[in-house]
Structure 1
Amino acid sequence: MLKTSMKLLPLLVLGAVSGTASAAGFQLLEQNATGLGNAYAGSAVTSENASGQYFNAANLADLEGRQFSAGVNYIELESTFNNSASTNPAGHPNLGKNGVNGGDAAFVPNFYLALPLSKDLTFGFGLNAPFGMRTAWSKDWVGQYYATITDVKAMNFNANLAYKVSDQLSIGGGINYQKFDAQIETALNGAPFAGSRDANFAVAGDSWAWGYNLGVIFKPSAATKVGVSYRSAVKHELEGKYSVSGFTGPGAGVALATYGFTAATGNGKVNIKLPDTFIISATHQLNNKWELLGDISRTSWSDVPELRVQFSNGSADKVSKYDWRDTWRVAMGANYQVTDAWKLRLGLAFDQSPVKEGLRTPRLPDQDRVWYTIGAQYKLNKGSNLDVGYAYVKAKSAHANETSASPAVTGRLVGDYESSVQVLGVQYSMNF
């Protein structure tokens, strides 16, 4: 039964993660539910169970015995677009539908193992989803010619080793083998072409690529821990297929050529570099009841200057300019030990958006956001515990004023996005 479950895990992770990012960009911080209640403050020095290895492989060195940890986070995005001054391709006010709940929901699972190889050396393995996003706008909304569906997801296999150099110092590192899937769709305006209806452009592809992670933990005192970790960028070369469907009438061929396509179907590819992340964390045990946690992280979103779809049949490249910036995230949290069995968690975080004003798109209408979190842990027995956490993530109102290179075909999109995310997570951990 265990072998069968292990074989199914990758399918469950990749299938379930087709949802939406809660962190800035399309990053998913929800790699466990243990840290959710603290807004993932102190992530690079939190070694309560095997799941801590994702944020810092050196966390494995503090674990005792063989450990297993698995969990799931339910992430629900609500995103709406309020039209204010959008125009249609003719230049008149666009009376199309506002974007209603363009966000989506997903279950994001995780799985971890920790196996001591010797007194000071520990092996770890993790299966998780570090990136994922889905926005789905209706095909008759006011911005249909800019975006309808965007769906990206990554599944990550991570093998780690940690070594306890001394009681004060631990080091760790690992390799990552990652699968990345992407799908994008957009409506194409058929009105300018004799007798044609609108069409749908869709492209999908996938890729496998390698990455690595490194970490260190230093304990200046029995009550204080400081950790630093780095997770590398991963360069993906996605290959897949595209299709254009829906153009009709005598103008169908002209419409296809006008949009730069030599054929209605074909092969395509996209190169994308998923960003690296650098984390500095600290925790301090004030007394036998209170623990304070802090976290500063940096993600190199400037590695994503554009999304360029290239075609093998000579069709013109489809380019979306992003010009994203690197981002910072600051988190703080506290744990309160109520009884030997119960622990309460609180957290607060500020998460900077990589999206610059003037370059915001409905594919990712991102804006700076604040995390408000709460959680609890219950020790079921000496060797197992259950964590639950909840986060409400509120993004600032995000203004859009988007004009394509061909406004006579796409119109102009002007309005405001309102977005929020709710996350509910549960994690089970045990020694075996």
Structure 2
Amino acid sequence: MHSVNSFARISALAFGIAGVLAFGQAHGAAFQLKENSAKGLGRAFAGSGSAPGDASVIATNPAAMRHLEGTQFQGDVSLISFSAKFDGGGRLVGPTGPGTGFPISGGNGGDAGTIAAVPAMYFHTPLGEKAHLGASLTVPFGFKTEYDRDWVGRYHGVKTDLKTADLGLSLSYDVNPYVSFGAQVFVERLEVDLSNAVDLGTVMFSQGGGPLGFAPGNADVYSQLEGSSNDWGYTVGTLLSFNENTHMGLSYRSKVKHEIDNGKATFTATNAQATGGLAVLAARGLFVNTGGKAEIELPASATLSFTRKVNDNLSIMFDYSRTFWKPSFDSVTVDFSSNQPNNVLPFNYRDTSFTSLGADYKLSDTLTLRGGVAYDQTPTTAEHRDVRVPDTSRKWLSVGLSWAPSEKAEYSFGYTHLFTTDPTIDQVSATGSTLSGSYDVTGDVLGASINYKF
């Protein structure tokens, strides 16, 4: 079994951490959240930086605060339902290489998806005749998948929980009724909690542990990595109005570089055999609970937004945004507090596009209907798709409405269904086990908001 011995040259601790940090190899469109407005959700976020009457522009394009009237507060919540069910199997490393051994035990992991609420809040007030002040609380990135702990793909991932929150302050200035400029500075909180199983049986077997009863798949260790970081970024934008009915917004959100220096890696044996293996390796300084550092760079993005009021009832909107995953997610380097050498983890993300077209129709003075379609591209490819976020490009179909019973209050609702193809997985773990199969992925988003003018 000489081919297995090659795995002995790989850092034992890296077996756990490389799998734990593999969330970056999954997909970005899912943990890059656009769900910051029920009104925007109803038209697939077309017109996100140019359409009047939505306070979410405080975060997406501060220059468009020109369209907000007086002092107002807006609160939004989006309920995201994501389902991911795996169908397939895997094999352990064998005498002739990865995936040539016995089938991996365990089921398909259950539904790895989740239902999550994503909040957003906005406040706007004018400063004199031409300036505007805004504040926002948004969630621009976030995702969670969690499989059964003993599932067949446990060596690739069990739990992935990444979430952020941005607290921003915005200012804008109207040069004239046709040109406005704006900017926001925000503080971002990032929290990461990631886990997977490690095939300690293979690690020990490759280091001569066969006579001690170690074999691939018989001594699993549960590995977990947690960490958090606070950092800051900015958004700048402009709103150009060709006339009172036609508006174009341009905005740019900066990347945010998070320096995680409080990372914690822990390893827990799942049976008596694994407990013995941990003790042997700990004496060599391997598989010990330790701190660590990592740099995670969340990507920059740019958006072109267009809104045209066709008549007193109908308005049409368009959005195109580009997210610059490269080079932010080419790789991530992990620096351990122990004597463990650094590990460079490749992710191979590509830049992505989001395109949407939507419309509002004012049915009466109090009721507005809306709808939209969009195409959302994933940054991953079949070659690099991971179990943590089994993503694929998707199409959006959105509907929504707003009801304004008075001049001060407006209530909005939006719904989006995501149409996807079944993504496939074909992966090899650090210890040579394989996993192949496909996913049944579905997604729905329901949003609600209230806007109140003081």
* RMSD over aligned Cα atoms: 2.0
1:11 is matched with none
Residue aligning to 1:89: 93
Return closer, same or farther for 1:264/1:279 CA change in 2, 3 Å cut-off: same
Match of 1:123 among 111, 119, 133: 133
Tell me how far apart the structure 2 counterparts of residues 347 and 76 of structure 1 sit (CA, whole Å): 19
Deviation at 1:107, TM superposition (A): 0.7
- The Cα of 1:290 is off from its aligned counterpart by 1.1
Please state if 1:55 is matched with 2:79.
Answer: no
In 2, the alpha carbon distance for the partners of 1:249 and 1:323 equals 35
- In 2, the alpha carbon distance for the partners of 1:83 and 1:289 equals 51
Q: Is the 8 A contact 1:22 1:421 kept in 2?
A: no
Matching residue of 1:311:
336
Aligned to 2:295: 271
One-letter amino acid of the structure 2 residue matched with residue 165 of structure 1: V
1:243 to 266, 280, 289: 266
Does the 8 Å contact 1:263/1:315 carry over to 2? no
Q: 2:91 aligns to what SS in structure 1?
A: coil
Instruction: Give the conservation status (yes or no) of the 8 Å contact 1:25–1:354.
Output: no
How far does the alpha carbon of each residue in 1:128-177 deviate from its partner, in whole angstroms, 9 at most, with x for none?
11100111111121110010011111110111001111111111111111
Show the counterpart of 2:147. Answer: 137
Q: Which deviates the most, 418-427 or 91-100?
A: 91-100
Residue 66 (structure 1) shift: 0.4
- Asked whether the equivalents of residues 281 and 287 of structure 2 are also in contact (C-alpha less than 8 Å), the reply is no
* CA displacement at 1:328 relative to structure 2: 0.4
Q: 1:348 to 1:255 in 2, by over 3 A?
A: farther
Structure 1 position 416 matched with structure 2 position 446: no
Show the 5 A alignment for 1:134-173: 134-173=144-183
Alignment TM-score, normalising by the size of structure 1: 0.90
Which secondary structure state, in structure 2, belongs to the residue aligned with residue 393 of structure 1?
strand
Can you list the C-alpha shifts for 1:368-402, whole angstroms capped at 9, x where unaligned? 01111110000021111000001111222211111
Identity level (%): 32
1:79 aligns with 2:84: yes
Q: Deviations over 1:207-240 (max 9, x none)?
A: 1111111111111122211110111000001122
Query: Aligned residue for 2:97?
Result: none
> In the alignment, which of 42, 64, 82 is matched to residue 47 of structure 2?
42
What amino acid does structure 1 have at the position aligned with 2:84? S
2:303 partner amino acid: I
Does structure 1 retain, via aligned residues, the 8 Å contact 2:259–2:294?
yes
Question: Could you say if the C-alpha distance between residues 89 and 119 of structure 1 is closer, same or farther in structure 2, counting changes exceeding 3 Å?
Answer: same
Of 230, 233, 238, which residue of structure 2 is paired with 1:216? Answer: 238
Would the alpha carbon gap of residues 310 and 337 (structure 1) be closer, same or farther in structure 2, given more than 3 Å must change? same
Determine the C-alpha separation between the residues in 2 that align with 1:277 and 1:87: 40
CA distance in 2, matches of 1:343, 1:63: 17
Q: Which residue of 1 aligns with 2:4?
A: none
Greater relative CO, 1 or 2 (CA 8 Å, sep 6+): 2
Question: What residue in structure 1 maps to residue 187 of structure 2?
Answer: 177
Give, as a single letter, the amino acid of the residue that structure 2 aligns with 1:148: V
Moved more, 108-117 or 317-326: 317-326
Q: Conserved in 1, the CA contact under 8 Å of 2:300 and 2:323?
A: yes
Match of 1:8 in 2: none
1:312-350 alpha-carbon deviations (Å, 9 max, x no partner): 112244554211000001000111111110001101100
Offset, 1:197:
3.6
Q: Structure 1 residues 338, 45: CA separation in 2 closer, same or farther (over 3 Å shift)?
A: same
Which residue of structure 1 lines up, in the alignment, with residue 108 of structure 2? 98
Deviation (angstroms), 1:364: 1.7
For 1:111, the equivalent position in structure 2 comes to: 121
1:191 and 1:235 mapped to 2: Cα distance? 37
1:340 equivalent among 365, 388, 395? 365
TM-superposed deviation, 1:304 = 0.8
Residue 29 (structure 2) pairs with residue 24 (structure 1) = yes
Question: 1:22·1:393 contact (CA, 8 Å) conserved in 2?
Answer: no
CA contact (8 A) 2:269 2:275 kept: no
Q: Is 1:285 matched with 2:309?
A: yes
How far 1:245 sits from its partner (Å)?
1.1
1:287 corresponds to which letter in structure 2? Answer: N
